[in-house]
Amino acid sequence: MSRHRLLPLLALAGLAGALLTGCSIEESICSDGEYPVLAVGGAGSACVKDGQEPDKGYARYPAGKVPEKVGDKWDEYWQTRTLDENGKEIPAPPM
Protein backbone atom coordinates (compact mmCIF):
# COMPACT_ATOMS: atom_id res chain seq x y z
CA MET A 1 0.00 0.00 0.00
CA SER A 2 1.37 3.43 -0.85
CA ARG A 3 2.22 5.98 1.84
CA HIS A 4 -0.52 8.34 0.57
CA ARG A 5 -3.21 5.72 1.23
CA LEU A 6 -1.78 4.61 4.57
CA LEU A 7 -1.75 8.02 6.33
CA PRO A 8 -5.52 8.66 6.10
CA LEU A 9 -6.18 5.13 7.34
CA LEU A 10 -3.89 5.64 10.32
CA ALA A 11 -5.59 8.94 11.15
CA LEU A 12 -9.00 7.30 10.96
CA ALA A 13 -7.85 4.43 13.17
CA GLY A 14 -6.55 6.91 15.75
CA LEU A 15 -9.84 8.80 15.80
CA ALA A 16 -11.82 5.58 16.13
CA GLY A 17 -9.58 4.50 19.01
CA ALA A 18 -10.11 7.79 20.82
CA LEU A 19 -13.87 7.53 20.43
CA LEU A 20 -13.97 3.91 21.61
CA THR A 21 -11.90 4.64 24.72
CA GLY A 22 -14.15 7.52 25.77
CA CYS A 23 -11.56 10.19 25.09
CA SER A 24 -13.23 13.59 24.98
CA ILE A 25 -12.20 16.53 22.88
CA GLU A 26 -13.88 18.91 25.36
CA GLU A 27 -11.46 20.51 27.81
CA SER A 28 -12.37 20.30 31.49
CA ILE A 29 -12.36 23.50 33.54
CA CYS A 30 -10.28 21.77 36.25
CA SER A 31 -8.20 18.62 36.49
CA ASP A 32 -9.41 15.48 38.23
CA GLY A 33 -9.36 16.00 41.99
CA GLU A 34 -10.09 19.73 41.70
CA TYR A 35 -13.15 21.97 41.56
CA PRO A 36 -13.57 25.47 40.07
CA VAL A 37 -13.93 28.64 42.14
CA LEU A 38 -14.85 32.18 41.13
CA ALA A 39 -12.97 35.41 41.91
CA VAL A 40 -15.16 37.49 44.25
CA GLY A 41 -15.83 40.95 42.85
CA GLY A 42 -13.51 40.42 39.91
CA ALA A 43 -13.11 38.56 36.69
CA GLY A 44 -11.52 35.16 36.67
CA SER A 45 -11.54 31.76 38.25
CA ALA A 46 -9.20 29.15 39.67
CA CYS A 47 -9.15 25.49 40.61
CA VAL A 48 -8.90 24.18 44.18
CA LYS A 49 -8.03 20.67 45.33
CA ASP A 50 -11.03 18.64 46.44
CA GLY A 51 -11.45 18.83 50.21
CA GLN A 52 -9.84 22.27 50.48
CA GLU A 53 -11.62 25.59 50.90
CA PRO A 54 -11.07 28.39 48.35
CA ASP A 55 -8.38 30.98 49.08
CA LYS A 56 -9.41 34.41 50.29
CA GLY A 57 -10.95 36.37 47.44
CA TYR A 58 -12.50 33.28 45.82
CA ALA A 59 -15.83 31.52 46.36
CA ARG A 60 -17.52 28.36 45.20
CA TYR A 61 -19.89 28.76 42.28
CA PRO A 62 -23.57 28.73 43.24
CA ALA A 63 -25.12 25.24 43.21
CA GLY A 64 -26.36 24.30 39.76
CA LYS A 65 -24.27 27.00 38.06
CA VAL A 66 -20.84 25.34 38.10
CA PRO A 67 -18.91 25.26 34.80
CA GLU A 68 -17.50 21.85 33.94
CA LYS A 69 -16.14 22.20 30.39
CA VAL A 70 -14.50 25.14 28.64
CA GLY A 71 -17.18 26.93 26.65
CA ASP A 72 -20.15 25.19 28.30
CA LYS A 73 -23.30 27.08 29.31
CA TRP A 74 -22.02 28.06 32.77
CA ASP A 75 -18.51 28.91 31.59
CA GLU A 76 -20.06 31.38 29.15
CA TYR A 77 -22.51 32.66 31.78
CA TRP A 78 -19.74 33.53 34.26
CA GLN A 79 -17.72 35.43 31.63
CA THR A 80 -20.01 38.42 32.29
CA ARG A 81 -20.90 37.88 35.95
CA THR A 82 -19.23 37.37 39.31
CA LEU A 83 -20.19 37.31 42.98
CA ASP A 84 -19.92 40.12 45.48
CA GLU A 85 -18.67 39.60 49.05
CA ASN A 86 -22.22 38.64 50.12
CA GLY A 87 -22.59 35.98 47.42
CA LYS A 88 -24.93 38.05 45.25
CA GLU A 89 -24.48 37.80 41.47
CA ILE A 90 -23.24 41.08 39.95
CA PRO A 91 -21.87 42.12 36.54
CA ALA A 92 -18.19 41.25 36.14
CA PRO A 93 -15.78 44.16 35.69
CA PRO A 94 -14.47 44.65 32.15
CA MET A 95 -11.31 42.70 31.37
- Tens digit of pLDDT for each residue in 64-94? 999 999 999 999 999 999 999 999 999 998 8
How confident is residue 95, by pLDDT bands cut at 50, 70 and 90?
confident
The C-alpha angle 81, 86, 89, rounded to 5 degrees, equals: 20
DSSP H helices, 40-83, are 73-77
Contact 84, 39 (CB under 8 A): no
Contact 30, 47 (CB under 8 A): yes
- Percentage of residues in the chain having pLDDT higher than 70: 75
d(CA 34, CA 12) in angstroms, rounded, equals 33
Which amino acid is located at 55 in the chain? D
Determine if the pTM surpasses 0.85: no
Which amino acid is located at 40 in the chain? V
In this prediction, residues 34-58 reach a mean pLDDT of 96
d(CA 84, CA 72) in angstroms, rounded, equals 23
